Structure 1
Amino acid sequence: MPGDEARSAGCCWTSVLSCLLLACCYVGSLYVWRSELPRDHPTVIKRRFTSVLVVSGLSPLFVWVWRELTSARTSSSLLALLGIRVEGIVPAVLLPLMLTMVLFLGPLLQLALDCPWSFLDGIRVALDPCFWMVCFSDMRWLRNQVVAPLTEELVFRACMLPMLVPCAGPATAVFTCPLFFGVAHFHHVIELLRFRQGTLAGIFLSAVFQFSYTAVFGAYTAFIFIRTGHLVGPVLCHSFCNYMGFPAISAALDHPRRILVLSSYLLGVLLFLLFLFPFTDPSYYGLPTPVCTLASSPSSLCRS
């Protein structure tokens, strides 16, 4: 029917513009503070914490207003749509993080082989309250491991996916949502140019690489969010990946135990592909997941 098509097109435009506005608000909040200091300076980080937490706290209002404007049909509450719910919380905490650690099997083995500590030393440090006090007093650690994963997953996954799924469907939304996330990271180019950290060509290549990497990572956490219907899994995976960084493949190629390390890289990828769907089976988290109830037609991502 022409009327239904017009309403669908209007819903899509409302969804895309809402996501774009939300992304602009998030990135814009980082630059409301005028400063000549670099982004890693503690003062800059503290100021940005304030503004980004305000935007993130207000971001659910975008979803609420979008739902009122589009009359999206769902029996789930706003918090449930955002992945904040109790049902299936234990597997939501454990399984996505375990899946991500499987993918990083190579880098984890490489880290273990190069680490001067024994396994018991690592356990003792992890259980030492002083270690965590030092971590939480480090502004960069707090940004990379806590604030950025929580706010970015809330804004770019939990708030955007419910607005995109009714229009694009779960599968397309998984690949559409990360585009906002990837573009949002282009603001780092401003920092690099401003402080002349590299050549223009190098900065451009760095920006392209970062966009590609963050877009792929964003698709992965979007997949987890839709399959599990929980925010906690994407947040923990994001924090873990921030800690690990991009795999040091060049160092693996030059490693004294190169065959073992490279084999673990390959094994990790194969096991990840094998466990990707079983570890994110929606039946573990309450079927169907809240965001899947917004889909206009059934999707294989929302089924066991």
Structure 2
Amino acid sequence: MYFYQPPIGLGVAHALGVFFAISYVGSLYLSRQARLVFKSSAQRLREGEQRRKQNDERWRDDPDVIRARLVAVGLSTALSCGIVLWLLWNLAQDFTIAFDAASTRLGFSLPLGDVFPVCLVTPILFLGPLYAEYLMGRLPLQRNWSWRRDLLPMITTWQGWRNYLMAPLTEEVVFRACMLAVYHLAGAPIGRMIFMTPLLFGFAHIHHAWDIFNRYGRSVAAAKRAIFATILQLSYTSLFGFHCSYLFLRSGSIIPPLTSHIFCNIMGLPQVSFHLATFRSRRNAIKAAYIIGILGYIYTMNKWTLVEGCLYWRATSKVNGRPIY
């Protein structure tokens, strides 16, 4: 199902995008079980020291908090997908057609084989960190890698389920698939979809500042730490959002941004200075790996990401020479 003219206005897309973001973050605070509780007053702590958790407090890594929040964001994600489906149903007046269209526009229907090269783009960017992990013997099946220490916590703990499955899945579906679907229906330019919608993804992480401020003592130093961490996270998540939006729009599939999100959560931010200081005899090789990774990323982002017939990318989303929405 496609349209030769945008079937909704940009104002509707803006309203829906803001609603998706607010409903996702707001769901974390609707139920008492999902809310964080801090009882401690201001404390003087050593630089970088986190205070002790009190028995009657609820922190974000508590298993019961994580369980409640996973349910909340799961329901919020289902609601956002339901709104996209309802919108298309209202336009098509046929549920079967609308359901197929929603599956396509949300990136659920493309075969994995078509998007496999797209999924390799992010690991190529991380060639430098991966080489450093190799030098440390910490890649899977190397001497310093342990399935008990490195793998089991990812799949058997609530923190692992949140960090490496549910958070990437729900965030990519809401902030990539649902948002980009409605902006595309509104005829938004490609550049705006890539560089504007991820800002909502970045701002959706600002609420973590309250958590940091409380855990580090509610002091001036804690406030500074929370502000700095929030600015850093806002910058990183926005840049990451640009990357994932591009992957989604070029491939038309949720799989590349999802695997990219999981991979980046596992790897964390690249630690160039640490790697160079740790392996002084391999400094040139590490620098070369980082540079090759960046150059490889630039090359593959253009050559490997475009899936033929992708609805979202204007170069391929045309019928009889006319752009479709």
TM-score range, shorter chain: 0.7 to 0.9
Q: State the TM-score, normalizing by the size of structure 1.
A: 0.83
What 5-or-longer segments of structure 1 have no aligned partner? 1-6
Asked if 1:81 is matched to 2:102, the reply is: no
Asked if 1:15 is matched to 2:16, the reply is: no
The 1-side partners of 2:234 and 2:126 are apart by 20
Residue 34 (structure 1) aligns with: 35
Equivalent residue in structure 2 for 1:157, among 176, 180, 199 = 176
Equivalent residue in structure 1 for 2:194, among 161, 167, 174 = 174
Sort the Cα spacing of 1:289 and 1:102 in 2 relative to 1 into closer, same or farther, 3 A. Answer: same
Q: Is the 8 A contact 1:182 1:211 kept in 2?
A: yes
SS of equivalent to 2:216: coil
SS of equivalent to 1:282: coil
Tell me the CA shift for residue 17 of structure 1.
Answer: 0.9
Tell me the CA shift for residue 253 of structure 1.
Answer: 3.1
Q: Is the 8 A contact 1:96 1:279 kept in 2?
A: yes
Residue 230 (structure 1) aligns with: 253
The 1-side partners of 2:291 and 2:105 are apart by 36
Equivalent residue in structure 2 for 1:95, among 77, 100, 117 = 117
Q: Is the 8 A contact 2:155 2:161 kept in 1?
A: yes
Residue 296 (structure 2) aligns with: 271
Judging by fraction of residues, say which structure has more helix.
1
Q: Is the 8 A contact 1:96 1:234 kept in 2?
A: no
Sort the Cα spacing of 1:137 and 1:116 in 2 relative to 1 into closer, same or farther, 3 A. Answer: closer
Asked if 1:141 is matched to 2:160, the reply is: yes
Q: Is the 8 A contact 1:106 1:268 kept in 2?
A: yes
The 2-side partners of 1:110 and 1:120 are apart by 13
Identity of aligned residues (%): 28
Amino acid at match of 2:286: V
Sort the Cα spacing of 1:294 and 1:11 in 2 relative to 1 into closer, same or farther, 3 A. Answer: farther
Equivalent residue in structure 1 for 2:270, among 247, 270, 282 = 247
Per-residue CA distance 1:67-109 (angstroms, 9 max, x = gap): 46788xx996111100010x442132x2222111100000000
Tell me the CA shift for residue 59 of structure 1.
Answer: 1.2
Q: Is the 8 A contact 2:133 2:139 kept in 1?
A: no
SS of equivalent to 1:39: coil
SS of equivalent to 1:164: helix
Sort the Cα spacing of 1:179 and 1:68 in 2 relative to 1 into closer, same or farther, 3 A. Answer: farther
The 2-side partners of 1:251 and 1:133 are apart by 26
Residue 200 (structure 1) aligns with: 223
Aligned length: 285
SS of equivalent to 2:29: coil
SS of equivalent to 2:270: coil
Residue 4 (structure 1) aligns with: none
Sort the Cα spacing of 1:10 and 1:40 in 2 relative to 1 into closer, same or farther, 3 A. Answer: same
Q: Is the 8 A contact 1:22 1:62 kept in 2?
A: no
SS of equivalent to 1:271: helix
- The alignment's C-alpha RMSD in Å is 3.2
Q: Is the 8 A contact 1:25 1:55 kept in 2?
A: yes
Amino acid at match of 2:11: W
Tell me the CA shift for residue 264 of structure 1.
Answer: 0.6
The 2-side partners of 1:65 and 1:150 are apart by 21
